[in-house]
Amino acid sequence: MSLSESLGGLLPYCSLLHSLVLICLVAVVYKLAVLLIQRRDALRNFEAFTGPPGNWFFGHVLQFKQDGTDLDKMVKWGEQYPYAFPLWFGPCVCFINIHHPDYVKSIVTSTGDGLLVSDGQKWFRHRRLLTPGFHYDVLKSYTKLMLESVQIMLVKWEQYVSSGEPFELFEHVSLMTLDTIMKCAFSYDSKCQTESRTNEYIKSVYELTDLVNLRFRTFPYHNDLIFYLSPHGFRHRRACKVAHSHTEEVIRKRKKALEKEKDSERVQGRRTLDFLDILLLARDENQQGLSDEDIRAEVDTFMFEGHDTTASAISFILHTLACHPKHQNKCRQEITRVLDGKDALQWEDLTKMPYTTMCIKESMRLFPPVPGIARKLTKAITFVDGRTMPAGSLIGTSVYALHRNATVWENPNVFNPLRFLPENVSKRSPHAFVPFSAGPRNCIGQNFAMNEMKVAVASVLRRYQLIEDPARKPKIIPRLVLRSLNGIHIRIRALDA
């Protein structure tokens, strides 16, 4: 074959390669143009808000060291920039970060879509269908199941009484809250506290929260394709598969059980309907139920929020009480008085512990289990000081900075449960304390969570003295829930020791 014939045969391939390169170049130029327009619009929309200086390319990402100081940095910036300030994550994505009750009120009462929840109409329909799952009668039946799960955890703690060594709380409490949510919401005994030291579902949840945070901070990962092709994208898909498999197994077993029943009345006659029953049997006015995809999404959400956020709250509550023995003893005295010789708390006792409840709330003020809430506006909004944000704007509520805002809370870094006396609460904006968010999109499970916290705290305090480990103070970091970089460690001592 001659050279000219060989070259002639290669020409079509060269032409194809040239076309592919040209298409890629056009795509890159187009994407850059979109990003530049997005940056221009963000700068224009947020020009009324001043904030901390950032790098033009990385934004403020490099200023968050992930070393346990990031949330305090948000509080300091809040002191410099009242009400709100912009935070850039890369060159194009900007959130207005708010940290004042007046701004929070405007946001939580707006029609914005939560970035981690379904859109407006779909959310409203689901909320209406799920509300019966949190009725008084349903919650009342959960108290005994909560106590069972807590007791399993406390028996495991006996080893730390005899050794006197500090131990990490979060792992134990996470298993306990997962056990609780599985029993209460899904009537499913997972035995996760006794049969597995490292539960695969909990490991997948930890990994997913870390990866969500990493993706948010790494602006090239904002692109779906880049993230999908990355090693972190692979880990994300693998963790999702584990979490979804866990969810699907729970749903599959319940569907199989319900198939043996002819109607919901027979199910209800057999036992009280739980959250999963209500999901599977729910019908709207058109007799339309939830799709399989919607059911899995709701179970995923409730299983995550029902165990991980509550685990964060309980862990920090117990640690806070360990650091404040006088308040711990006051709570213990109150619990002993309420029990009045009984072996365990009952449903009606949960409203008879005002001081313990105030300590729980004060700990959630200092260490909110959800440190931030994100929302995208679906319509323009005007704040109390006249500044406006257009539709499409990204808003981040720093719950941590709000709860430590010195213009709202006197000595905000000091643990003082008396802030939550009724007469003191009435003097503050109802939007100054929002551990469960507020407004129409408040947490549907907040009464369940508060009951579980009370049961856990009361059960722990009547059995053990909690002791601070000063050598291992938590280095708190914001994830989807509040965590500690170095764990949450305490010592315990038996009360009769």
Cα(183)–Cα(116) distance, integer angstroms: 25
Q: What single-letter amino acid sits at 339?
A: L
Do the beta carbons of residue 345 and residue 458 sit within 8 Å?
A: yes
3-state secondary structure of 271: coil
**Rounded Cα gap, residues 117 and 220, in angstroms:** 23
Distance CA 480, CA 369 (A): 9
Evaluate whether 178 touches 201 at the Cβ level (below 8 Å): yes
Half-sphere exposure at residue 266, Cβ-oriented, CA atoms within 13 angstroms:
7
Task: Indicate left, alpha or beta for 395 from its phi (over 0: left) and psi (-120 to 50: alpha).
Answer: beta
Report the first-to-last Cα separation within the chain, whole angstroms.
96
Whole-angstrom distance, CA of residue 97 vs CA of residue 374? 9
**So what's the pLDDT on residue 198?**
62
Any residues with CB less than 8 A from the CB of 16 and at least 6 apart, and which? none
Which of 304, 301, 293, 325 lies closest to 495, judged by CA? 325
CB 39 within 8 A of CB 92: yes
Identify the segments of the chain with pLDDT beneath 70: 1-19, 27-28, 30-36, 110-126, 129, 132-133, 135-136, 196-198, 260-272, 284-287, 497
> Nearest Cα to 395, choosing from 74, 87, 165?
87
Q: List 38's β-bridge partners, or say none.
A: none
Query: What is residue 385's three-state secondary structure?
Result: coil
What is the C-alpha separation between 5 and 2, in angstroms, rounded?
5
pLDDT in tens, 273-318: 777 887 787 776 666 777 777 778 778 777 777 788 999 999 999 9
- pLDDT value, residue 131: 72
Helices in 218-348 by DSSP H: which ranges? 224-229, 231-258, 264-270, 275-281, 292-304, 310-323, 325-339
Q: How is residue 168 annotated by DSSP?
A: E
pLDDT, residue 200, reads 82
Task: Mark out the alpha helices in 406-480 (DSSP H runs).
Answer: 422-425, 446-461
Residue 435 DSSP symbol? B
| pTM attached to this predicted model | 0.86
DSSP class of residue 426 equals T
- pLDDT single digits (tens) 214-239: 887 787 888 888 888 899 999 999 98
Burial classification of residue 359, based on how many CB atoms lie within 10 Å of its CB (0-12 exposed, 13-18 middle, 19 or more buried): buried
